[in-house]
A and B are shown apart, each in its own frame.
Chain A
Amino acid sequence: MHFDPVLLSRIQFAWVIAWHILLPAFTVGAASFIAVLEGLALATGREVYVRTSTFWIKIFAIAFGMGVVTGIIMPFQFGTNWSRYASAAGQVLSPLFAYEGLTAFFLEAGFLGVLLFGRKLVPSWAHFFAALMVAIGTLFSTFWILSANSWMQTPAGYEIVNGQFIPTDWIKVIFNPSFPYRLAHTAFAFFTTTGFVVLGVGAYLLRRNRSVQDARIMFSMALWALTVLVPLQMVIGDMHGLNTRKYQPAKLAAIEAKWDTGKGVPLTLFAIPDDKAEHNKFAIEIPYLGSLILTHDLHGEVKGLKDFPADQRPPVAIPFFAFRAMVGCAGLMLALVLLGGLLRWRGQLYDTRLYLLACQCAIPLGFIAVIAGWFVTEVGRQPWTIYGLLHTAASVSPSLTSHDVTLSLFAYVAVYLLIYPTGLIMLLRLVRKGPVETSESAPAIEAGLPGAPVLAPAINVVKGNV
């Protein structure tokens, strides 16, 4: 492997975005969760909702702050390392990024101060309104950034003049062919990730017998939300796969490690793909299942990588394994949700200790699935930055030397390795305290009291929200 500025810039981009995406993966859902809690607090006037919301706002503040500063780094990467891409695609993509700033970042930032510090300064409806605006901001942000990302995967509504992409139809640019599926899949992934964090934190507090009333509300709300989210996400994921087959067949072939085009292809459960030999080693396959899943037809045709010139194929191993990691996470999630439903039906949800432990251990599942999914879709896009049109190698800034990018990559690695563990330690510390101790107004001895039964309105609002 030759460490030229292109490869180093790719590693750098992967490094900064992979760490960054962990934060919106949690904060997008968390903002909506907080808005729901604030709404419930306003509607019912119950102290427990205020306390639970205050607790999650503190957690949200750390994650959101880290998300902001690691997010500012992202647009500058286009200029520092990918200036030829910026110059070629800037006219189509930059308005989408700029609209993200105008509709989302300012909205979040404008109301964040009131959400974090304003509870005593503004009326309670205004505090709820601030929470709502922050939540809406995170959703707008998701919309625009995924539109831009999807355009790079399935470009539409453009013409190429002198090597530059010029927009011809903004509706086609924004609502490009893969966008609806990618948006739905990612938004559901973010909400699911938050759901498992809330579920896991609730489970932790229940296991420790701390802030029990608050913990039950979190645990129950999260489980109801996940009961809807997880199965739906699997359906959306399947639809996204069909869309990929249509528009990015080489990516799909890499995901499934299919070398030869065929009908009625097997599903490869495990293999060691060898890009050079164009062959899988140690393959474990289930006949016909590949065609059935990918085309919804036992004899459907799936394109193989050999149909594409070798210099237009993505590397196979990363999309192949990352996809299996993502699907594996989905399987575990579904099992937990089904089990939770069963326990709830039997009335043992809050005191099956092994299940609570499993939920606590499941906190990272959503994050792992998000990162894995990101690797599937972005590595699967290679060797292009704009699919089929602009080579990654032709996108990098011409002035950069390997030495330059090595230096900057080291700097990003060093800083992130300091910031992220510190942030994680602080988040864990807040969780350990729990809502009752975090909230200054609540009596410190409430932990251990029997919690109130879960409220029906809470459940309905969560359902309405998904």
Chain B
Amino acid sequence: MTQVLDLVPIWTVILAAAVFFYVLLDGFDLGVGMLFGLAPDKRSRNTIMNSIAPIWDGNETWLVFGGLGLLAAFPTAFAVIIPAVYFPILVMLLALVFRGVAFEFRFRDAENKTFWDRAFCYGSAIATFAQGVVLGAFVQGFPVRDGQFAGTSFAFLTPFSILTGVALMFGYGLLGAGWLILKTEGDIQAAARRQGRICLIGVVTAIAIVSIWTPIMVPAVAARWFSWPNIALFAPVPVLSGVIALGTWRSLGGKAETAPFFGAIGLFVLSYIGMAISLYPMIVPYQLTLWEAASSPRTQAFLLVGTLFLVPVILTYSSWSYWVFRGKVRAEVGYE
């Protein structure tokens, strides 16, 4: 096949979108899982859990698609990144096992209900932390030799990756609070508003520290942001982040039910764009570009055809599922 069209940019966009979809969708239900642990009684815990019970499985599917999309479109990147974060991935997967089975086990295992309650909450928290650590390790970069990861399995663990781990817990917590404000009423919603504000403080602090730390740690990132005219071109990203953070803070204190969730999404979008600005065109930061890690055009073309056809279909029926379970969580829908 002669290469008439460079598919790498298209796959970059698709993969970036898939990972972002995962972060948003599983982000809010992992966040809900963490806030679940703070709920005072059984009734509110049941309501909180039922707000995500019908949809969490679909949300988590984006993780599989993101991982496999990376393997398909950028196999060399997959082969470097995943072994480099061997233990965070292990911890994330096992934490996801605990929180996933907790949905069913919690309602069927009357004697061990508190155990599965904790499994759900801690599983969500640990999976989130592990994902944040993966993100931090990714931004730090990995040593590469002959297209394979050349470091040790514990090199991921640094103060920076721990910071990003904690940061993501606040981030998902904020998304989760936004979701609960949307889906619940009364005291659960009021609690979510308070928790949302605490998470927002954490998120803003973390974004600020990472934004200072990353350019200090990586000169290339500093050059990308602080050279002329980039500094002017990219200035809207931090400015808009500040505006949205302020708006989210106010909406958490007011009566708005959708604004906090979309404010949280806005902060994630901007942080994501900020990271893309820092790292482009690297897929394995500071080692391999998107083009160096890309798979053959045949592979990319074959999967692209199906993806372009199937993703709209998936979005349609997934939306239908969200539509069926729209509105405030009703006590009789879900596990009883």
Contacts and interface: CB of A to CB of B under 8 A. Distances in A.
Interface of A: 61-62, 65-66, 68-73, 75-76, 78-81, 83-84, 86-87, 90-92, 94-95, 97-99, 101-103, 105-114, 116-118, 120-122, 133, 164, 166-168, 170, 397-401, 404, 407-408, 411-412, 415, 419, 422-423, 425-426, 429-430
A399 B317 contact: no
What does DSSP make chain B's interface, helix, strand, loop or mixed? helix
Contact of B101 (A83, A97, A419): A419
Contact of A101 (B68, B83, B98, B332): B68
B153 A91 contact: no
A397 B310 contact: no
Interface in B283-336: 295-296, 298-299, 302-303, 306-307, 310-311, 314, 317-318, 320-321, 324-325, 332-334
Task: Select the residue from B96, B324, B332 with max chain A CB neighbours within 10 A.
Answer: B324
29 contacts: A68-B60, A71-B64, A72-B96, A75-B71, A78-B71, A79-B78, A79-B79, A79-B81, A83-B82, A86-B79, A87-B78, A90-B75, A91-B295, A101-B64, A102-B65, A102-B310, A102-B311, A105-B65, A106-B61, A109-B58, A110-B58, A112-B58, A116-B53, A117-B333, A118-B325, A133-B317, A166-B296, A398-B149, A422-B112
Interface of B: 53-55, 57-58, 60-61, 63-65, 67-69, 71-72, 75-76, 78-84, 86-87, 89-90, 93-94, 96-98, 100-101, 103-105, 108-109, 112, 147-153, 295-296, 298-299, 302-303, 306-307, 310-311, 314, 317-318, 320-321, 324-325, 332-334
B104 A426 contact: yes
Nearest to B109: A426
Task: Select the residue from A95, A114, A170 with max chain B CB neighbours within 10 A.
Answer: A95
B292 to A, nearest CB: 13
A400 B83 contact: yes
Nearest to A112: B57
A117 B54 contact: yes
Contacts of B109: 422, 425-426
Nearest to A119: B333
Contact of B80 (A78, A83, A98, A429): A83
Contacts of A108: 57
A167 B302 contact: yes
Contacts of A70: 97
Nearest to A163: B147
A90 B97 contact: no
Nearest to B76: A87
| Top-5 shortest CB links A-B | A79-B82, A113-B54, A90-B75, A69-B100, A87-B79
Nearest to B143: A399
Contacts of B87: 404, 407-408
A118 to B, nearest CB: 6
B82 A80 contact: yes
Given A79-B82, A90-B75, A90-B78, A167 B299 contact: yes
Given A69-B101, A399-B149, A404-B86, 11 more contacts: A65-B57, A68-B100, A86-B78, A98-B307, A101-B64, A109-B60, A109-B61, A111-B317, A113-B58, A166-B298, A408-B90
Task: Select the residue from A68, A167, A399, A425 with max chain B CB neighbours within 10 A.
Answer: A399
B60 A72 contact: yes
B54 A118 contact: yes
A135 B73 CA distance: 29
A162 to B, nearest CB: 10
